[in-house]
Chains A and B, each alone.
Chain A
Amino acid sequence: MDHHKFRVIKDRLIQFLVYLALFSALIPLFSILYEVGARGFSTINIEFFIKPTPTVGESGGGVANAIQGTLITIGLASLIGVPIGLMSGIFLSEYGESKLSVAIRFLHDVLNGVPSIVIGVFAYALITRSIGFSVTAAAFALAVIMIPIVTRTTEEALKLVPMSVREAAIALGIPRWKTTIIVVLSSAKKAIVTGILLSIARIAGESAPVLVSMGFWRWWFAGLNRPVANLALNVFIFATSPFENWVALAWGSALILILLVLGISIAARVLIKGRY
């Protein structure tokens, strides 16, 4: 066999392997979407959305309390995480490069790499040990997870706003800070909202920090110093339980979570198209 033919065959072989790798990487995605879709859909009915967690042995029941609890936890986490992330992003993008901004950006990357279970242990040590297993502790943990994501996406969104827009506003005599709020922030509105949505999608699916800082709860919201139910944690507790009814509920909860994540990811794609 001559050398040229050998090179061509090798080239084709590698091309085949590359597509094989791509194909095998996507199998789990389709398998997960199919299984969660099929098994989750057969669980979901009206009762699923209006009833709380069933007791052991009880049939039926739903995840209404978990939906309520997840919304409360996400809401509280956003209340802490969004302002910090937003303002940090503004600082990094609008006030120039300095050693401080490089350090801050680096630390956000570091925090982004800290495993969520460690952040859960942090919330446990800081809050749970003093006020008990509570929605406050879980919301704190999720806020810490949110901050680097919101900061990074806000910074990138603001940097995409052309400098000429800022200069035009300043030339009109508008103070710098008003320029930032009225002109820059509002031009980057869509991209910033996208970033916040993506961070919400991320924390909605977090169960490890929720597990160690708040624990499992079968009832409705009962105050900020008590736990609430949580969809992602439900999936874990139900899936590892020996009760058939709970396992079915795990698939239903997983379907809601997947739809939430998919919906937000697709919405983010659509929103982001309109930016600079």
Chain B
Amino acid sequence: MKILRKASLSFFGLKVKFLLHPKNPLKGDYVFKLISALFALSIFLILGLMVYELVKGSWLSIQTFGLNFIVGTTWDPAVSRVFGALPLILGTLVTSAIALLIGVPISLGVGLALSEYLPKKFGFAVSFLVELLAAVPSVIYGLWGIYVLIPFLRDHIYPYLQSVFGFIPIFSGPIYGGGVLTGGIVLAVMIIPTVSAVMRDLFSAVPNSQREAIIALGATKWETVKTVISYARSGVIGAIILGLGRAVGETMAITMVIGNRFHVWPSSLFDAWYTMAAIIANELLEATYDLYISALINVGLVLLFVTLVINILARLIVWRALRLTRGIARE
């Protein structure tokens, strides 16, 4: 193919009407490659334009508040027109952390069940169900959260939690149904399919020789599985960070269940709070003056930055881990 490509380069600058000439098929090759390359390069344009537009849109807010935007704890569009996003950042991080606390052990179990425990054929069907869970739109999780999960938690789980752990401050206070813990639970449900699918792939990529070696030493199933996990551990960390990225950016479901109250720190796990994504969804349409709009776009910029860092980190770790395990498997 090298010769073809070199030959086609010499046709640079020729007009498209030569394209279909039967005696010069290479011109068509060059033009087609050029067109597909141009389309492929558009990703640079899209991401560049996105960063540019978000920075341009939040410029007014950056000029007015500077770093105070990130450490400020006031959000007052009505009177003083001061905007600080620290409570939103905290709300986003804390709900995501709760989601990881609940979601990661379950995802680990699902990943192991799919790759190690379930018989192949059955595993295929269950994998499909897990993928369906990933395909359910966010807004439907929100609808289910409001009308099914919240009443259930409010009437059955939370009163029980409070009666047992009520002496700890984070489990005290009034129960509304929606709130920080509910938000974390809904996020956990939403990240489980993503994280467990990556974990399944990681565990399946572990070469069988690893399992055979330890089984030959007389290991139980769990001891074998432990070897598999430790073999894939860097990838597992990547999968968890990937889940974090998904939780941080989640909008509709969390908006519908977290209660949307702006304050620095909630009084308990049952109290309402706010996240970066939720405030954009709730207020961008109602923002009436430039500084307000700019502040909301600034929240979007911070959110973009946070998710970019998280995702790039996760991708690099998962890529490296998959390449390592597969590379060794091939040898």
Interface of A toward B, CB cutoff 8 Å? 7-8, 10-11, 14-15, 17-22, 24-26, 28-29, 31-32, 35-36, 39, 83-84, 87-88, 90-92, 94-96, 101, 104, 106-111, 113-122, 124-126, 129, 133, 144, 147, 173, 175-178, 180, 201-202, 204-208, 211-212, 215, 232-233, 235-236, 239-240, 247, 250-251, 254, 257-258, 261-262, 265, 269
18 CB-based A-B contacts, threshold 8 Å: A11-B223, A21-B113, A26-B129, A26-B133, A29-B136, A84-B39, A95-B37, A107-B43, A110-B315, A114-B249, A115-B249, A117-B249, A118-B249, A124-B297, A205-B137, A206-B138, A240-B146, A265-B135
- Give CA–CA (A88, B49) in the complex, Å: 18
Give Cα A113 to B242, complex, Å. 9
Complex contact B43–A111 (CB within 8 A): yes
Tell which of B44, B147, B252, B304 has the most Cβ of chain A within 10 Å: B252
**Docked-complex contact A262 and B281, CB < 8 angstroms:** no
Number of residues in B with C-beta < 8 Å to the partner? 93
- From the candidates A24, A106, A212, A239, name the one contacting B281 in the complex (CB within 8 A): A212
Q: Quick check: A205 and B140 within 8 Å, CB to CB?
A: yes
B143 lies within 8 A of A117 (CB):
no
Measured between alpha carbons, how far is A158 from B147 in the docked complex, in Å?
Answer: 44
Closest beta carbon of chain B to A140's beta carbon, Å: 10
The yes or no answer to B79 lying at the interface (CB within 8 A) is: no
> Is B29 in contact with A110, judged by CB distance below 8 angstroms?
no
Main SS of the interface on chain B?
helix
Query: Contact at B139–A207, with CB atoms within 8 Å?
Result: yes
Q: Are A25 and B133 in contact (CB under 8 A)?
A: yes
Q: Is B90 an interface residue (CB 8 A)?
A: no
Assuming the contacts A236-B142, A254-B140, asked whether A21 and B252 have C-beta atoms less than 8 A apart, the reply is no
In the complex, the 6 A-B pairs of residues with the closest C-beta atoms, listed nearest first: A21-B109, A115-B249, A205-B137, A87-B39, A113-B311, A175-B25
Nearest B-chain residue to A29, judged by Cβ: B133
Taking CB atoms, residues of chain B closer than 8 Å to A11 are 220-223
Report the bound CA distance from A159 to B189 in whole Å. Answer: 33
Within 8 Å by CB of B307, from A84, A114, A176, lies A114
Specify which chain A residues have a CB less than 8 angstroms from the CB of B112 in the assembled complex: 18
Q: Which of B138, B141, B192 has most A Cβ within 10 Å? A: B138
Residue of B114, B192, B310 with most partner-chain A CB within 10 A: B192
B78 at the interface (CB under 8 A from A): no
User: In the complex, A269→B243 CA distance in Å?
Assistant: 25
Known: A25-B196, A177-B31; 12 extra A-B contacts, CB below 8 A, are A11-B221, A14-B222, A21-B110, A25-B130, A87-B35, A88-B43, A104-B43, A117-B280, A125-B53, A125-B57, A208-B138, A265-B135
Tell which of B25, B28, B32, B143 touches A239, judged by Cβ atoms closer than 8 Å: B143
CA distance in complex: A112, B308 (Å):
10
Quick check: is B216 within 8 A (CB to CB) of the other chain?
no
Contact with A along B25-51 (1 / 0, CB 8 A): 110110111011111111110110110
Task: Contacts A22-B113, A83-B39, A88-B43 given; indicate if A239 touches B256 (C-beta within 8 A).
Answer: yes
- Which residues in chain B, 95-138, are within 8 Å of chain A measured between CB atoms? 105-110, 112-114, 117-118, 126, 128-133, 135-138
Residues of chain B with a CB closer than 8 A to A94's CB = 36
> Is there contact, CB below 8 Å, between A121 and B284?
yes
A271 to chain B, nearest CB (A): 14
A115 and B251: CB pair below 8 A?
A: yes
Which one of B4, B49, B139 has the highest number of Cβ atoms from chain A below 10 Å of its Cβ? B139
The answer to whether A29 and B248 touch (CB under 8 A), given A36-B140, A144-B46, A239-B147, is no
Smallest distance from the beta carbon of A100 to chain B beta carbons, Å? 8
Give bound CA distance, A90 to B34, whole Å: 12
Q: Tell me the complex Cα distance, A144–B251, Å.
A: 17
- Bound CA–CA A26/B118 (angstroms): 15
Partner of B304, one of A36, A118, A178, A233: A118
Tell me the smallest distance from the CB of A208 to a CB of chain B, in Å: 4
Task: Give the contacting residue for A113; candidates B40, B137, B143, B308; CB below 8 A.
Answer: B308
Q: How far is the CB of A76 from chain B (nearest CB, A)?
A: 17
Contacts of B26 in A (CB 8 A): 175
With both beta carbons as reference points, the residue of chain B lying nearest to A119 in the complex is identified as B50
A-contact 0/1 string along B56-74, CB 8 Å cutoff: 1100000000000000000
Any A CB within 8 A of the CB of B94 = no
**Does A21 contact B251, Cβ atoms closer than 8 Å?**
no
List of A residues within 8 angstroms of B44 by Cβ: 107
Partner of B250, one of A109, A115, A129, A247: A115
B179 CB, nearest partner CB in chain A, Å: 16
B residues near A233, Cβ cutoff 8 Å: 139
| B56: A residues at CB distance < 8 A | 125
B225 nearest CB neighbor, chain A only: A14
Among A20, A32, A125, A212, the residue within 8 A (CB) of B141 is A32
- Are the C-beta atoms of A121 and B117 separated by less than 8 Å? no
Q: How long is the Cα–Cα vector from A211 to B264 in the complex, in angstroms? A: 26
B251 and A116: CB pair below 8 A?
yes
User: Contacts A25-B130, A205-B140; is A110 near B308 (CB within 8 Å)?
Assistant: yes
Whether A121 lies near B37 (C-beta < 8 A) is no
**Nearest chain-A residue to B32 (Cβ)?**
A177
Q: CB distance A121 to B300 under 8 Å?
A: yes
Most chain A beta-carbon neighbours within 10 Å: one of B41, B43, B285: B43
